[in-house]
Chain A
Amino acid sequence: SQQGEEDPQALSIQEGENATMNCSYKTSINNLQWYRQNSGRGLVHLILIRSNEREKHSGRLRVTLDTSKKSSSLLITASRAADTASYFCALLTGYNKLIFGAGTRLAVHP
């Protein structure tokens, strides 16, 4: 399958802790994107990392990409209750389609 596979499927942490989610894939990619979805709502784009990049930051978010291991990670530092959501990685394998993983459900407890 070309689908990205997120790990873990669910993550429960306390406010202030860091949350790390991983995405593994099997095919070559042009870029990899991370999205957030609050319960039943539309997805919101977080970060795009290109295949020739290794790390990107955006506020409390840090994304890494290891193309040799075909894996990416999303780190959320100093998590807040408002970070509670599902997080998806999406792979751009050609130039017309994004393929989404099944997501990681993050719960941040006050």
Chain B
Amino acid sequence: EAQVTQNPRYLITVTGKKLTVTCSQNMNHEYMSWYRQDPGLGLRQIYYSMNVEVTDKGDVPEGYKVSRKEKRNFPLILESPSPNQTSLYFCASSGTSGRAWETQYFGPGTRLLVL
């Protein structure tokens, strides 16, 4: 089944404790991205990647890191989480052209609470 998976689905952590949210897709997509969703703000892009070893900042990259060492995986790293990073996070992938204009396939989301 074609899908985007994220782990963990739910996470409660404390300020400053490094964490990684994994994202994996099995559709051979080149383009992958991370979004955060906050009430009343819609989805805001954190980082995106057009292919292996090619990443770039989205609209809200502060406090986040990403890597793209393999085509299928695009982990999101919070080196020192803070309470303002409490949010619902989505990973998405699309296309074989490395472009965002194609249909985005979303993961199920990771709900993060930073205390």
Contact = CB atoms under 8 A, between A and B. Distances in A.
Interface in B80-115: 88, 90, 92, 99-101, 103-109, 111
Contacts of A48: 103
Interface in A17-49: 30-31, 33, 35, 40-45, 48
Listed residue (B4, B48, B59, B106) with the most chain A CB atoms within 10 angstroms of its CB: B106
A90 B107 CA distance: 17
Q: Chain A, interface size: which category?
A: 20 to 34
A13 interface: no
B42 A88 contact: yes
Interface in A62-110: 88, 90, 92, 95-103
A97 B107 contact: no
B109 A96 contact: no
A42 B107 contact: yes
B100 A42 contact: no
Contacts of A33: 103-104
| Interface residue SS majority, chain B | strand
A101 B107 contact: no
Q: Chain B, interface size: which category?
A: 20 to 34
Given A41-B109, A43-B104, A48-B103, A100 B56 contact: no
A96 B42 contact: no
Nearest to B111: A40
A96 B56 contact: yes
A101 B42 contact: yes
B11 interface: no
20 contacts: A3-B42, A35-B104, A40-B111, A42-B106, A42-B107, A42-B108, A42-B109, A43-B106, A45-B103, A45-B104, A88-B43, A92-B100, A95-B99, A95-B100, A96-B48, A96-B50, A97-B45, A100-B43, A101-B42, A102-B42
Interface of B: 4, 35, 40-45, 48, 50, 56, 58-59, 88, 90, 92, 99-101, 103-109, 111
